[in-house]
Amino acid sequence: MEVRDKIYIGGAWVPSSGAGVHEVVDSNTEEVIGKVPEGTADDVDRAVEAAAEAFPAWAATPAEERGKLLARVADGIGARMTDIATTISREVGMPISLSGPIQVGLPQAAFAEAGQLVADFPWEEEVGNSLVVREPVGVVGAITPWNYPLYQIALKVAPAIAAGCTVVLKPSEVAPLNAFALAEVIDEVGLPPGVFNLVCGPGAIVGEAIASHPKVDMVSFTGSTRAGKRVMQLAAESVKRVALELGGKSANVILEDADLDAAVPSGIFGCYLNSGQTCSALTRMIVPRSRLAEVEEKAAAAAAGFPPGNSLEPGTMLGPLVSAAQRERVRGYIKKGMEEGAKLVTGGAEPPEGLDRGYFVQPTVFSEVTSDMTIAQEEIFGPVLSILPYDTEEEAIRIANDSVYGLAGAVWSADPAHAEQVARRLRTGQVDVNGGAFNPAAPFGGYKQSGFGRERGKFGLEEYLETKSLQR
């Protein structure tokens, strides 16, 4: 068992001011595999004070030096890849074959890329008689989720530090062990004390203390839309900057002429990745009614390739969900879909055969879903696909945009130019065209209740900068 009895403040491992302890559970076995402190508002205050004290010197540190330190953090993460990947597979349930490249490889790349970005970033430019300079926003509060725990941390911490900001991180208490590993790497690298601080604990205490602290200049939050609204409320009291990456109900629009042999399996993978615990998951497959039976058949066949299994087994493609609460939530949505008249193509709410322990759910596909059904509107966060038929292309676009969310999406067509035309009409922050490859340098973020602000690449760095004009 991994027991963490200290938090990281001001460049040192120190005891929390509280006595609470949070248990970390293996999602495969339901066994306790770790313990971390439950931080307090006093811990947050100490961390923010340390960050505020460190900010002036860190902001004045040459960008090239900041970049070199970030590169060393990336190297430190890479040296621990196997251990961190195993930890996250146990915490979250992602299969170990994917955890290495996704849950650890992407964070490692995010730190390395942030280090490279600062060397070439246009920190100053001449505009008429003005010198326009970009400066770090200040102390950043980073509040991150459990589904891609280290990656979501990296998408905030790496660009914030690269920009010259100092950081107070609150990782998810559900999957926190990887954050402590990162803190160890940062400590070994030798970032100046106070540049990075870690306080673990519940959102209602630690998260709210960060969002409301008067010396926190910006809050970057990834999580549920409900919690994001609360962050906005608290941040508004001191008019601090907020960046939010929230929920999603992303549409996968398959046009009449699309290659179903490519589009449907790709859509299933885009829905089931990380057991569906992905904010940008393609959970709504919008298909021509004339091809509905064909899509159902191909979707059922593709779903059969995702039998649930232990996330540490090499051949597993669909691991467990993160917790008992999440398992019951997803099963509840499956039951709701059946109650509201959706056609169950495969799967169901019953536990998968032979998996009595662990937070497992059957890979599920519904068809004949309509936009007024709960499973078509609410974020399920599990391996549950809704197939919605349409009669005209205009109807397909209307269905795709019929959501309070707008995070991601996809379009498939035999005509790439036509697919791009439809993609431009989707009110969402990112659209894959005919299975377009993931691009970590492209901006990621949402429209509508999926939030605002962008992460990744230079777009993520810009979130942590203020703009100043010097008239001469």
State the DSSP code for 444: B
How is residue 38 written in tokens? 């439950």
Q: Count CA within 13 A, CB hemisphere, residue 225.
A: 18
**What are the phi and psi torsion angles at 56 (to 5°)?**
-55, -45
Listed residue (246, 248, 267) closest to 363, CA to CA:
267
Q: Can 245 be counted among the known catalytic residues?
A: yes
How is residue 148 written in tokens? 């891609």
CA–CA distance, 207 with 444 (Å, rounded to integer): 23
CA–CA distance, 464 with 163 (Å, rounded to integer): 6
Catalytic residue among 49, 91, 245, 463: 245
Q: Residue 271, SS3? A: helix
Number of separate helices (H) and strands (E) present in the chain: 16, 23
Catalytic residue among 165, 200, 271, 279: 279
**Under 8 Å between Cβ of 36 and 176:** yes
Tell me the β-bridge partners of 405: 448
Question: What is the pairing mode between strands 166-170 and 139-143?
Answer: parallel
* 344 to 113, 339, 363, 368: CA distances (angstroms): 44, 11, 11, 9
State the DSSP code for 38: -
Q: How far is C-alpha 240 from the geometric centre of its chain's CA atoms?
A: 22
Listed residue (383, 378, 341, 35) closest to 180, CA to CA:
35
- Residues belonging to the active site: 245, 279
